[in-house]
Structure 1
């Protein structure tokens, strides 16, 4: 908790993102980074930042720590090895992330689905169907919890698998308010992400900024219905700048919400008619992410040669214990924790890797050996 305390003091001081990333990267941990910042570290910080670093306001800091103490709440900093690899390689990544839900999901291959806040009924249905199919195929679907296409994408993904919601407020707030129930469900079954500390209200400038995180976490971004001037087009541009794939769903020439998608296609986005087109394009890239995940977890599960004749991983004892606890009937995380004696966090990481390798299938938070 001392590490969280120091990181939160740095976050609340109003340091520019680049400065905070530099401090954490240079010093390797929040405590020495904070000590360096308090001594100036050649940063030429404004007087108000220096004052906040030396005498952090106790109220917000106490509220942050209380929020973090609740089950399922997490804080990831730039120094943390669990900081998502894809986001780290994107332009202007946030120096810290507040999370509600499963942190391991941020290492899962993700596809962003974005679009109009006022879609047509057909566009809403299409986003739901894309998300449901992609989630059912093992992808996490990422979006911004806004009205319209975002909401349809999260709901479609939850009906078949996992979803990631990136928001522009603190995680104790919800915008729009009518999506509070959806946000709670995403936190329970997936993960909600924000770069803003608890208590941060909805501010207009935060939402375009949020879009860079949606794009940065995802291997590709699918745009479903977007007007010529649309936040979804900002997400598409950010995805392209991050070196990620951009896909656009075409529509009727008479539909003004198709014009943004048609513009993207003219500018080089891939035209997709169904989710299978997305999977075909991103499958090889996802395999590379799986290799990174293996390296992060240090399991050595690199391929078929790491299995016994019975298909059991030849890894450490924890993996063997988990493999023995898995059967062909889907089993919930709590039961797997009881059978193995492992923490839910440890199980989540191992199950994610096994799923990426095709040895485990997931069904609404329950896991089984692949048939």
Structure 2
């Protein structure tokens, strides 16, 4: 169904058959692919005899395939046909020529893809950027800046539209694409139906992505944000990309699932190192120990993916936020005293020799200038 809408009765019947196959009880992705391999298109499956079906699937699934379509399925089909009438909405099946080739190369490609926005981005070179939902200010800044530069250089940025690193990566990619005629823009792979924005706080971002990028889901319309859906959609995030960059991740982060899937799919895995004291660096350090490529700038990724073109890429400090000038040499000295590891107020007072009032004033100036962040427990950390 690689068209905006099913314009004929035959096309509507084809769509209904694909949805019926996807929604049949007991038919998962692997069983569906086995049936398609044996019978061809879904309509051939549903016109086959019980004995023919039973040669491919267990008895209970054969009976389920022969059952009449339910009212819920008819309603879903009608809803999907209506959704396809809206500008920018498309649906791709495994049988469509426009189905992303990158996903055909993975072990478990989605049966159906719901696409909202610029579908052509799914065929372009891409880089996934993932990380913590509860990222630090530095993690947000790194995700934004890396994505902006990689997008400027023509890579489409793939992420999951979650809060934190994902949202920052999408925003950076949109800005990078807007500032370059050859920009790559961004693709959000979501864990809900394509007609639902989750989390709701990203509604504005979702509209921007649908306009200038692309939103992709394998889940039927109306599917809410079920927890089990999000780890599963990660294989699409990594599958669409040439590599995966993990910006910040705790030791048990879902981003590590994406990284593992990327490695299994033969994609490159990159990780940004951080402080040995930060829980959100543990996952990245773990990946680096396991063979992920340590990166300090977007240039490192460009050189790995495309050494010839990387020579003209970012020149200096691609990953880091520019250090803004802060009035007063005392503040500059305090930054040097702070270093790059988290430090308590008492330790800073001891190192700097400043009284509490002066130190509080300096720390406030640095925080307002975006050069430090305050972590839980009154711990201070430098940004950039």
TM-score normalised to structure 1 length: 0.73
Looking at structure 2, the residues matched to 47 and 246 of structure 1 have their Cα atoms a distance apart, in angstroms, of 39
**What displacement does 1:56 show?**
3.5
**What displacement does 1:217 show?**
0.8
- The RMSD of aligned alpha carbons is 2.2
The answer for the alignment partner of 2:24 in structure 1 is 13
**What displacement does 1:105 show?**
1.1
Looking at structure 2, the residues matched to 197 and 131 of structure 1 have their Cα atoms a distance apart, in angstroms, of 29
The answer for the alignment partner of 2:219 in structure 1 is 196
**What displacement does 1:34 show?**
3.7
- Asked if structure 1 preserves the Cα contact closer than 8 Å seen for 2:114 and 2:218, the reply is yes
- Asked if structure 1 preserves the Cα contact closer than 8 Å seen for 2:194 and 2:220, the reply is yes
- Is residue 2:34 matched to residue 1:22? yes
Looking at structure 1, the residues matched to 63 and 172 of structure 2 have their Cα atoms a distance apart, in angstroms, of 43
**What displacement does 1:123 show?**
0.6
User: Pairwise mapping of residues 282-293 of structure 1 onto structure 2 (< 5 A)?
Assistant: 282-283=305-306
- Is residue 2:157 matched to residue 1:141? yes
- Asked if structure 1 preserves the Cα contact closer than 8 Å seen for 2:238 and 2:261, the reply is yes
User: Pairwise mapping of residues 173-184 of structure 1 onto structure 2 (< 5 A)?
Assistant: 173-184=196-207
**What displacement does 1:24 show?**
3.2
1:283 to 1:86, Cα distance in 2 relative to 1, 3 A: same
The answer for the alignment partner of 1:235 in structure 2 is 258
- Asked if structure 1 preserves the Cα contact closer than 8 Å seen for 2:15 and 2:77, the reply is no
Count matched residues.
Answer: 286
**What displacement does 1:285 show?**
12
Q: Cα deviation per residue 1:82-128 (whole Å; 9 max; x = unaligned)?
A: 21111111122211111111222111111000000001101100000
User: Pairwise mapping of residues 155-304 of structure 1 onto structure 2 (< 5 A)?
Assistant: 155-161=171-177, 162-283=185-306
- Is residue 2:103 matched to residue 1:87? yes
- Is residue 2:93 matched to residue 1:77? yes
The answer for the alignment partner of 1:54 in structure 2 is 68
Looking at structure 1, the residues matched to 207 and 59 of structure 2 have their Cα atoms a distance apart, in angstroms, of 38
Q: Cα deviation per residue 1:42-67 (whole Å; 9 max; x = unaligned)?
A: 22253697268522332222112211
Q: Cα deviation per residue 1:279-332 (whole Å; 9 max; x = unaligned)?
A: 11112799xxxxxxxxxxxxxxxxxxxxxxxxxxxxxxxxxxxxxxxxxxxxxx
Gaps of 5+ in 1: 287-371
- Asked if structure 2 preserves the Cα contact closer than 8 Å seen for 1:13 and 1:52, the reply is no
Candidates 138, 141, 166, aligned match of 1:150 = 166
1:188 to 1:46, Cα distance in 2 relative to 1, 3 A: farther
- Is residue 2:130 matched to residue 1:114? yes
- Asked if structure 2 preserves the Cα contact closer than 8 Å seen for 1:4 and 1:75, the reply is no
SS in 2 for 1:273: coil
**What displacement does 1:33 show?**
3.8
User: Pairwise mapping of residues 331-350 of structure 1 onto structure 2 (< 5 A)?
Assistant: none
SS in 1 for 2:246: strand
**What displacement does 1:187 show?**
1.3
The answer for the alignment partner of 2:368 in structure 1 is none
1:33 to 1:103, Cα distance in 2 relative to 1, 3 A: farther
Looking at structure 2, the residues matched to 138 and 96 of structure 1 have their Cα atoms a distance apart, in angstroms, of 27
- Asked if structure 2 preserves the Cα contact closer than 8 Å seen for 1:221 and 1:245, the reply is yes
Looking at structure 2, the residues matched to 95 and 159 of structure 1 have their Cα atoms a distance apart, in angstroms, of 32
Most deviating of 54-63 and 138-147: 54-63
**What displacement does 1:211 show?**
0.7
TM-score normalised to structure 2 length: 0.70
1:10 to 1:260, Cα distance in 2 relative to 1, 3 A: same
Looking at structure 2, the residues matched to 233 and 11 of structure 1 have their Cα atoms a distance apart, in angstroms, of 28
The answer for the alignment partner of 2:80 in structure 1 is 64
Looking at structure 2, the residues matched to 218 and 185 of structure 1 have their Cα atoms a distance apart, in angstroms, of 21
1:216 to 1:256, Cα distance in 2 relative to 1, 3 A: same
**What displacement does 1:257 show?**
0.8
Looking at structure 2, the residues matched to 97 and 263 of structure 1 have their Cα atoms a distance apart, in angstroms, of 33
**What displacement does 1:9 show?**
1.9
1:39 to 1:178, Cα distance in 2 relative to 1, 3 A: farther
**What displacement does 1:21 show?**
2.0
